[in-house]
């Protein structure tokens, strides 16, 4: 069983009040507060239906156990299903993946779990390599030339508080606390890069988390929500790069709710067939390789 909750609300909505009022052709300010509620509700619905996070938010995704951890004989000495000899290495990778319920993945802060000793333990991701023309935020970390580099400043002023790396690899400062300018970013050397406890696959949809090569997830106590994954997903703090189809779907939902205040009506209303739903489903995250 898995569940997901928002830990940190978004700094802004994907649509501004002005955009929604222009779409709905509203010129007065009498119902601005009501429209704000509709905007939030529309975002919640679109995100739930599509599996995408339009605006950067910190999520907590909970699981009762790590993927495919089993008890009993016949599953290998460690109690993991992949140890059964009839399964290949490819199956092992697929079955051990933690698939995140929101994308695109920005970063993973940590995985917390309750071990068999009853204590809470934390796992941290292996720092990723630097990427050209990629959105980074203050606090993001990458591994470069054996050093951990962290975004400490953004030199270009943006509403969302995130900016892009440069088009080519910068010359990294190898001095502890030394800085490197990279496109819109300033990186600070934090010392030797750690190995980390798991890897992230942010390119897949849904994003995946995997234990390091030839390693397995740790055992947990048999308690509800023994595993918590803390991660950030979204298209930036201002959703500037969010899919246009989902923004249009939000505007249509707000307009419909604004004009039809009740769930029933004595009027004969003719909807555009599957219009809003088609927009949402065109951007829906589909798992073509579901976990067993």
Per-residue pLDDT tens over the stretch 243-268: 999 999 999 999 999 998 887 777 77
Question: What's the burial of 163, exposed, middle or buried (CB within 10 Å: 0-12/13-18/19+)?
Answer: buried
- Residue among 95, 98, 127 nearest 227 (CA): 98
Residue 49, helix vs strand vs coil: helix
Share of the chain above pLDDT 90, in %: 70
* Residue 2 or 168, more confident: 168
> What pLDDT sits at residue 291?
54
Confidence of residue 273 (pLDDT cuts 50, 70, 90): low
Determine contact, residues 192/148, Cβ cutoff 8 Å: yes
Per-residue pLDDT tens over the stretch 96-148: 999 999 999 999 999 999 999 999 999 999 999 999 998 888 888 999 999 99
Over residues 206-232, mean pLDDT? 95
> What pLDDT sits at residue 264?
77
Would you give the DSSP letter of residue 50? H
pTM for the predicted model, two decimal places? 0.82
Per-residue pLDDT tens over the stretch 35-78: 999 999 999 999 999 999 999 999 999 999 998 744 443 344 34
> What pLDDT sits at residue 83?
42
């Amino acid at each position: 069983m898995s569940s997901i909750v928002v830990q940190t609300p978004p700094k802004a909505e994907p649509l501004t009040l002005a955009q929604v009022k222009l779409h709905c052709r509203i010129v007065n300010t009498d119902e601005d507060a009501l429209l704000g509620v509709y905007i939030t509700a529309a975002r919640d619905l679109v995100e739930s239906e599509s599996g995408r996070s339009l605006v950067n938010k910190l999520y907590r995704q909970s699981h009762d156990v790590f993927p495919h951890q089993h008890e009993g004989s016949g599953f290998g000495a460690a109690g993991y299903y992949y140890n059964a000899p009839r399964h290949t290495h490819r199956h092992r990778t697929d079955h051990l993946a933690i698939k995140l319920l929101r994308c695109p993945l920005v970063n993973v802060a940590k995985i917390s779990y309750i071990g068999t000793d009853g204590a809470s333990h934390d796992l941290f991701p292996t720092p990723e390599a630097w990427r050209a023309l990629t959105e980074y935020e203050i606090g993001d970390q990458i591994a470069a030339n054996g050093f951990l580099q962290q975004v400490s400043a953004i030199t270009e002023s943006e509403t969302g508080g995130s900016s892009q790396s440069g088009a080519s690899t910068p010359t990294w400062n190898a001095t502890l606390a030394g800085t490197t300018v990279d496109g819109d970013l300033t990186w600070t050397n934090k010392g030797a890069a750690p190995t980390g406890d798991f890897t992230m696959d942010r390119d897949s949809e849904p994003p995946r988390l995997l234990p390091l090569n030839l390693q397995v997830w740790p055992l947990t106590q048999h308690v509800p929500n023994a595993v918590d994954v803390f991660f950030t997903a979204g298209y930036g703090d201002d959703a500037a790069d969010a899919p246009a189809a989902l923004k249009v779907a939000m505007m249509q939902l707000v307009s419909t709710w604004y004009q039809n205040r009740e769930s029933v009506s004595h009027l004969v209303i003719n909807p555009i067939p599957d219009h809003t739903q088609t927009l949402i489903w065109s951007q829906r995250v589909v798992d073509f390789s579901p976990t067993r």
